[in-house]
Homo-oligomer: A and B are copies of this chain.
Amino acid sequence: MKKSTAVILLIASPSESPDLVYSSGFWAPDPLVYLVTPKKRYLVVSRLEIGRARTLAATSKTFPPLEALTPDDLKVPKTGRGKLDQWALCLLRHIGLTRVSVPSDFPHGIAQRLEARGIRITTSREALFPKRQVKSPVEIACITESQQAAVDAMQAAVTMIGATTISRSGTLTYKGKTLRSEAVQRCIHHVLLDHNTVCGDVIVAGGAQGVDPHERGSGPLRAHEPIIIDIFPRHMHHGYWGDITRTVIRGKATPQQKRMYNAVKAAHRASLTRIAPAVKCSSVHKASVDEFERRGFETGLLDGTPAGFIHSTGHGVGLAIHEAPSVSLSETRLKKGNVITIEPGLYYPTTGGFRIEDTVVVTATGYRQLVSCEKRFEI
């Protein structure tokens, strides 16, 4: 078999390119040029970043070795100082290369300018760093750290909601004030910070707000209505994410709310039980779909609005919050070391939203919860 000699070119900001962080190990606020050849990796960064880039290059133990360069080192002409296509062009000429592979989301304008200067560009629809999907023990430890932060924040949020008093009209009062989604979100944020993690979009959505799975939630929370709490923090130092969701009701659930919650819990369990290496992602997804259908919960348009189980069962988690493998209709087979979420949910305008989510790692024989977290419904 011919050995792959693909040369991969990335031009992106590390904060927006998990591939770049994964392969280079470098973090900086601004975009930069990164090239991987079979024998060497190259980082081209501005003067501002060269100190840290050189330190990384000198200490990196990853193969192939890393070299850090500035546009000055590459004799980029003065007119091209701030232009990343010029940095890349000078680097490619410096090494003597004219062909590169780029990811599908490579900047189109830069691709055009490089092609105009004789560089042949191949766009890859496949993952350029497929190994990213299979996590190393160090990576699993990083994700577990963020997941622990999420679990601690979840417990604080549930405790806060559980400590409210319920008025006759169903409002919730916490320490003398009406409890709002924003207050619970703030409580979550502070716990996350104490673990060096941040989550820009913490969801605390009660009642009708929970019907939209990406609605953050705002305003007063109410008793006897489902409250979806979804926390997905990123670690500020290593950049790996965690992800967890729980649904609680402060007060008393109706029989229909209980049926929905129990269906989600059963679907969650059914999908988890299906996880093992070589199992198709679609099979794990179908376990949830089947469970809902068996219990009579239909998915489809209700008065023009999607209702039922309206999203996929899960997604990979790593340096991106949503990454491969997708636990949906995808025919991809799970591998030992995949870290995925399992998060079935049910959403109906009349009853609100219910979702339960955990982040797990695929093991040799099944799966392992990264961090366990109790599931309480009525609190």
Contact = CB atoms under 8 A, between A and B. Distances in A.
Nearest to A28: B214
Interface in A44-92: 47-52
Contacts of A350: none
B29 A201 contact: yes
A51 to B, nearest CB: 4
B236 A200 contact: yes
Contacts of A110: 104-105
Which residue among A28, A108, A111 has the maximum number of chain B CB atoms within 10 Å of its CB?
A108
Contacts of A190: 190, 193
Nearest to A70: B306
Contact of A112 (B29, B123, B186): B123
A102 interface: yes
- The complex is assembled from copies of this chain, and their number is 2
Secondary structure type dominating chain A contacts: mixed
Interface string A282-319: 00000000000000000000000110001100000000
A16 B18 CA distance: 13
A134 interface: no
Contacts of A105: 107-110
Contacts of A251: none
Given A108-B107, A112-B123, A190-B190, A214 B311 contact: no
A15 B13 CA distance: 13
Interface string A14-25: 011000000000
A125 B109 contact: yes
A194 B52 CA distance: 32
A189 interface: yes
Interface in A18-39: 28-30
Interface of A: 15-16, 28-30, 47-52, 102-112, 121, 123-125, 182, 186, 189-190, 193-194, 196, 198, 200-201, 211-215, 234, 236, 305-306, 310-311, 321-322
15 contacts: A47-B310, A48-B311, A49-B212, A49-B214, A52-B212, A102-B108, A103-B109, A105-B109, A106-B109, A107-B107, A107-B108, A182-B196, A189-B198, A198-B200, A200-B236
